[in-house]
Every structure is written in structure tokens, then in C-alpha cells.
Structure 1
Amino acid sequence: MEPQDIRYSRTPHTEKLKWVNHMVKLMDNQFRLPGTNFRFGLDPILGLLPVAGDLASFGVSAMLVMTMARHGASGKLVALMLINIALDTLIGSIPVLGNVFDFFFKANEKNVRLLTRHYEEGKYQGSGKNVIIGVIIGVLVLFALLVWVLWELAAWIYHQLAAIL
């Protein structure tokens, strides 16, 4: 399935949001598994790098949500988007299971679909400056939660290895 482009004629920001479409394709659908229609992007590949890859994917997803918020996404829509990236980041950071999860759960693509539906339903609200502070706080909370989960996971793995050796 190809990612859905953001289409909305009610805003002058169309050119600025082309970056969002490009990044979503890169993160979620850039590559196709030969002989199939299955697509994947850099997100699951970055997930193979412990901690750093998950943080990089989270950073890109957070920037996409902030960009969409600046261009008229409602507070409710941004909250849904943050839930998507929280699921993607937290479950994606689990070794092995998270890597498989990352290939199928495409948070950025889901967020673009949410934004597209938002514009098609005529709920565009103009500038999202009022939502930006909430987004920043949400992203910081998610980042802190991610760091804590990764720390706990690393400590658990360390104790498991210490018990074996």
C-alpha cells in the first residue's frame, strides 16, 4: 500500500508539508520486498540498532507530528498521533518482537492518514500554534518514558546475563 499524500486545498502550507510526505515515505514505505507488494522504510531498519535507532526513529516521528501540529492539526488529532508514535517507539524498542512490530506498524503513515481525514472532513483549524506547547510537552514525556523503558530493559538484560555467567 502506498502512503497517502496529504491533500488539502484549504491551506497555503501545501509546499511546506511536502516534506512530511517525503519523510513518511522514507520512514515507512521506501523499500519494497522483491516479489511482493510489502513495503517498509528506514524505521524498522533503524530499530535494529539498539537504543540509538529507536531514539532516531522517535525523533523523526516527533518532528513530523510537530510539523503537522504547526499546520492546523487539532489537539485531539495530535494526541492520537502521539499515541501512535508512543506505541511505535515503546513496542519497537523491545528486542526481536519490536523489530518485527516495526515492519508492520507504520505510525507515520497512520498519522498522515489521520491528518488527511482531518482536512477532508473540513476540520482544518489554521495555524496550530496553540497546540505546539502541548505537543512539545507530550514529546518530552514520551521521550522520558522511552529512556526509562530502555534503561529498565538494559538493566534486566544485564541481570539475566550476570545470572548466566
Structure 2
Amino acid sequence: MSVDDSSTDVLGTLQDWFEEAAAREDDPDLDALSARERGALKRSRAMATLLDDAIPIPVIGYRVGIDPVLSIVPISGDLAGAALSMHIVAEAARLGVPPKTLALMIGDVAVDTVTGSVPVAGTLFDAVWKPNRRNVARLESYLENRTDVPTE
């Protein structure tokens, strides 16, 4: 196997992971979304999966993301997790999610950041509480329930 073959395998695996993370069976009707909205939703889902559910824990069948792993590093790890979590909020803001919903999303990120910064207990909290999944659900709810029809 050449170097090019292994890099193609890695990129293919990352592409497969992204597609799996971005797709869900309980999707809003993706055909009703604009290309911009579909892209934002896919990116948000992939980020939430990375932060909240990317790493399976053998034996117990539970998944954690990189957020609790990052929170092992004091302060800077929690701030890095918050910055990544804000990507979902930024995608939602670009799509016109109402300010009240954005405030709830930011509140979830803030609670995760502050609570996650507590040594040991904060890391355990990060492993259990999944604010990014919750924020993606809020984005999906907005896209499903709005009254205006997107135009491209």
C-alpha cells in the first residue's frame, strides 16, 4: 500500500463518519430545506456528534464525545469545547433562528463550559450532559416549524 492509498483510506473513513454523523432517521423533510440549510444542518449534526457522541465506551455501550476529553485539560480544554459548541449556535444564527432560541443555545454552552471546568466532577458531567445534541434538536425544530418557505 502506498502513502497515497492510506491517505485515501483515512479520508474515505472521515467522509463516511461525517455522512453518518450528519444523517439521522428523524430528519426534518430535507427536500423542503434549501441547500444552505441542508449544509448547515449537516455540519451542525456532525459537530454535535463529534462533541457529544463520537467515542464508544466498550462493554457499557455508552458514547461520549471529545468534549469530556477536552475538559481534562484545565480551563483551555473547556474553552476549546465551548468554541466548538458555538459553531452550532453560529450556524443557527445564520439560518435566522429566533433570538430567544439562540439565547437558550448559548445558555446550554455556558452551563457546559462552567460546570465542565470543575475538576473531575465537571469531566463526568461533560460525559453525561449533551448540550450540542440539544442545540441541534432546537435547530431542527426551528427548521420544521417555521412558517416561511425558504428560497434559494
The alignment's TM-score, normalised by the length of structure 1, stands at 0.68
> RMSD of the TM alignment (CA)?
2.4
Distance (Å, rounded) in 1 between the aligned partners of 2:28 and 2:106: 21
Aligned to 1:58: 82
1:62 Cα shift? 1.3
Q: Does 2:114 correspond to 1:90?
A: yes
CA contact under 8 A between 1:3 and 1:109: conserved in structure 2?
no
Aligned to 1:115: 139
2:61 to 21, 37, 47: 37
Q: Point out the more displaced range, 48-57 or 31-40.
A: 31-40
SS in 1 for 2:135: helix
Distance (Å, rounded) in 2 between the aligned partners of 1:110 and 1:124: 23
Name the aligned partner's letter for residue 44 of structure 1: P
Aligned to 1:104: 128
Structure 1 residues 50, 118: closer, same or farther in 2, change over 3 A? same
1:15 Cα shift? 2.1
Residues 108-146 of structure 1: CA deviation (Å, up to 9, x unaligned): 1110111112222235696xxxxxxxxxxxxxxxxxxxx
Aligned to 1:17: 41
Distance (Å, rounded) in 1 between the aligned partners of 2:96 and 2:148: 6
**Structure 1: unaligned runs, 5 residues or longer:** 127-165
Structure 1 residues 3, 28: closer, same or farther in 2, change over 3 A? farther
Moved over 4 A (4+): 2-6, 123-126
SS in 2 for 1:48: coil
Name the aligned partner's letter for residue 28 of structure 2: R
CA contact under 8 A between 1:65 and 1:81: conserved in structure 2?
yes
CA contact under 8 A between 2:116 and 2:126: conserved in structure 1?
yes
1:3 Cα shift? 8.8
Count of aligned residue pairs for this structure pair = 126
Aligned to 2:28: 7
* Identity value in percent: 33
Distance (Å, rounded) in 1 between the aligned partners of 2:143 and 2:106: 18
CA contact under 8 A between 1:54 and 1:93: conserved in structure 2?
yes
CA contact under 8 A between 2:51 and 2:65: conserved in structure 1?
yes
